[in-house]
Structures are given as structure tokens and as C-alpha cells.
């Protein structure tokens, strides 16, 4: 009897391990997981993610949840306080990058570099239900992600599902030259590249430097993102929202390119801030009219 019990135990453990391996591979091949990985890889290749810099999250839709739920752990992790309370996010599931993880590894190894977390019924805690193997935890900015998701979910009627935080060189450099003022920064970006006003006609928000990962930063970012799709963190990077991965990544890319063009033009004339030629307010209004854009007139 003992021999048979031992054999059955060995078989059960083998079946559990095999099922776990199959679930891991299957989970990694889901479309939203692959899209998430590509966004992280694109950012890495552009230099947006030095070392373990930057993070990202995606709010699962019903079909995503249906496709992945069978791969969830039999026993989720313990609940961990968020540091903020976001009732609008109660019961939601987020695919998030891991704390201390390198975004260059998300595409090749998502089950260790990222994971899916469930938000509690009160919107004040998270637990891991898939991924983040080996004792991983969600990004240290998880509070900012959940708070901003709650806001963007509300103002877009649930359409916005992606949040992407990157450290673009040119944009960070530009924030060392201008005050932490959304209007000032937006006007520089709009006036430097024609496509800027098309990419972000509402402008971009901006916050003065704050301690990364703090609840203060999370709450301040959420407030800014009621009015803007992107919030620039002074001397740190940018936090951007989108309906999909292309939208969030493309917004960051457009903001950083405008910053880069402005800095190059400024350097070409010896560092003087006033450039001889730039896009005027009249030009911005004409572009907005031609493309039927919701231009932020407060910034003109």
C-alpha cells in the first residue's frame, strides 16, 4: 500500500508540474501578453529603460480574462496593501511588469519579468494570480498605475487600458531646462514638430520632482491624468495612457521626439532658448481645424 501511495504521489506531482509548464507556455502566447512584451522591447531598443528603469501595466478586458483565467495559480499570493484606495478598480486584473525587473526581458520571459495581479474588492490591495515567478512583486509604482487606471477608466468610458512609464533621454533633459508647468512644456513640444499637436492635442501634464514609488506621486499623477493622457515627471520620465499598446507607446515616442528636436535646434544656435522659427498659435489652430482635433485652447 505504501509503495502504491508513493507512486501515486510521484505521479500527482509530475502531473502538477507538467500542467504548470503547459500553463506558463500557453499564458505567454496569449495576444495581450505578446503585445505587452513588444511594447517593453520597443522601449528598451530606444533606450527608454536603462537597467530596471520604467514599468508598464495593462487592464485586462473580459475576453482577456476568459482566455487566461484557466492558467491562474491554484493558490494566489497573499493580499498586499496598495498604499492608495481606488474603488473604481475593485475586482480588476492588471498585467504588470515586476519590481526590479529589466524590461528588456519581458518579451522573452514574461512569466518571470511580469505577472497578472487582482485588485481587491475594496480597491486597496493586490495579489498575484499569474506570473512573477521566483518571488517577484509588481513594480514599485503599482500604486500610481492602479490610481491612474481608475481615473483613465472613468474619463474614457473604459476605453483606456494601457499605462506606460518610460525614461526617454531627450524629454528628461528638457525638464531640467523648463519649470514644472504643463503649459510651458506643451507649447515647446507643440511648436517644435508638426505632428505633436496631432499626437497630443490636449497637451501633456507635468509634475515637479517627487519621490518615486510614493503614494504622494501616485495620487498627484492620478489628479493630473484626469485632464491629460500623459504626465511628465520632472527629471524622471513620463507616464502615458492609451487604449492599446500602440497608442500608449506612440504617445511617449511622439513626446520624446518633439523634445529631442527642440533640444537639437536649441543646441544648433548655441543654446539660446528663442528659436528663429517655430509653429505659431495660428498654425496650431489651423492644424486642429483641418484634422478636427480637440485642441487645448488654454495652452495658446
Grid coordinates belonging to 96: 504588470
Number of residues that make up the chain? 300
What sign has the CA pseudo-torsion 184, 253, 111, 104? negative
The terminus-to-terminus CA distance of the chain in angstroms comes to 83
Q: Hey, which residues does 95 pair with through a beta bridge?
A: 58, 116
Cα 115 to Cα 53: distance, rounded to the nearest angstrom:
17
Cα 21 to Cα 116: distance, rounded to the nearest angstrom:
17
List, in order, residues 6 or more apart from 232 with CB less than 8 Å away: 171, 175, 185, 204, 205, 206, 207, 238, 239, 255
**Helix (H, G, I), strand (E, B), or coil: what is residue 85?**
coil
Give catalytic status of residue 141 as yes or no. yes
223-228, Cβ contacts within 8 angstroms, sequence gap of 24 or more: 223/151, 224/182, 225/148, 225/151, 225/152, 226/151, 226/155, 227/202, 228/182, 228/202, 228/203, 228/204
Q: Do residues 194 and 279 touch, judged by C-beta distance below 8 A? A: yes
Strand 205-207, strand 230-233: pairing:
parallel
Q: Do residues 57 and 162 touch, judged by C-beta distance below 8 A? A: yes
Grid coordinates belonging to 271: 543654446
Cα 15 to Cα 22: distance, rounded to the nearest angstrom:
10
| Catalytic residue from among 28, 92, 118, 141 | 141
Strand 125-131, strand 114-119: pairing:
antiparallel
Cα 57 to Cα 217: distance, rounded to the nearest angstrom:
17
Active site residues: 141
Amino acid at each position: 500500500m505504501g509503495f502504491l501511495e508513493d507512486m501515486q504521489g510521484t505521479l500527482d506531482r509530475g502531473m502538477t508540474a507538467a500542467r504548470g509548464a503547459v500553463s506558463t507556455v500557453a499564458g505567454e502566447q496569449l495576444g495581450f501578453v505578446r503585445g505587452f512584451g513588444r511594447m517593453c522591447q520597443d522601449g528598451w531598443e530606444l533606450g527608454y529603460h536603462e537597467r530596471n528603469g520604467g514599468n508598464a501595466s495593462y487592464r485586462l478586458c473580459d475576453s482577456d480574462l476568459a482566455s487566461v483565467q484557466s492558467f491562474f495559480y491554484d493558490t494566489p499570493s497573499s493580499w498586499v496593501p496598495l498604499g492608495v484606495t481606488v474603488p473604481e478598480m475593485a475586482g480588476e486584473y492588471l498585467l504588470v511588469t515586476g519590481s526590479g525587473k529589466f524590461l528588456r526581458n519581458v518579451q522573452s520571459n514574461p512569466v518571470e519579468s511580469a505577472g497578472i495581479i487582482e485588485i481587491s474588492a475594496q480597491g486597496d490591495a493586490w495579489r498575484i494570480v499569474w506570473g512573477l515567478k521566483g518571488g517577484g512583486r509588481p513594480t514599485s509604482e503599482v500604486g500610481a498605475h492602479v490610481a491612474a487606471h481608475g481615473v483613465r477608466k472613468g474619463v474614457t468610458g473604459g476605453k483606456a487600458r494601457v499605462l506606460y512609464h518610460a525614461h526617454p533621454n531627450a524629454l528628461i533633459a528638457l525638464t531640467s531646462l523648463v519649470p514644472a508647468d504643463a503649459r510651458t512644456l506643451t507649447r515647446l513640444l507643440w511648436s517644435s514638430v508638426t505632428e505633436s499637436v496631432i499626437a497630443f492635442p490636449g497637451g501633456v501634464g507635468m509634475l515637479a520632482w517627487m519621490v518615486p514609488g510614493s503614494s504622494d506621486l501616485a495620487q498627484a499623477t492620478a489628479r493630473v491624468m484626469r485632464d491629460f493622457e500623459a504626465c511628465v515627471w520632472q527629471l524622471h520620465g513620463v507616464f502615458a495612457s492609451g487604449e492599446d499598446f500602440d497608442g500608449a507607446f506612440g504617445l511617449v515616442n511622439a513626446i520624446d521626439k518633439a523634445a529631442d528636436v527642440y533640444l537639437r535646434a536649441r543646441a544648433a544656435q548655441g543654446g539660446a532658448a528663442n528659436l528663429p522659427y517655430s509653429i505659431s498659435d495660428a498654425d496650431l489652430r489651423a492644424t486642429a481645424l483641418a484634422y478636427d482635433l480637440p485642441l487645448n485652447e488654454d495652452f495658446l
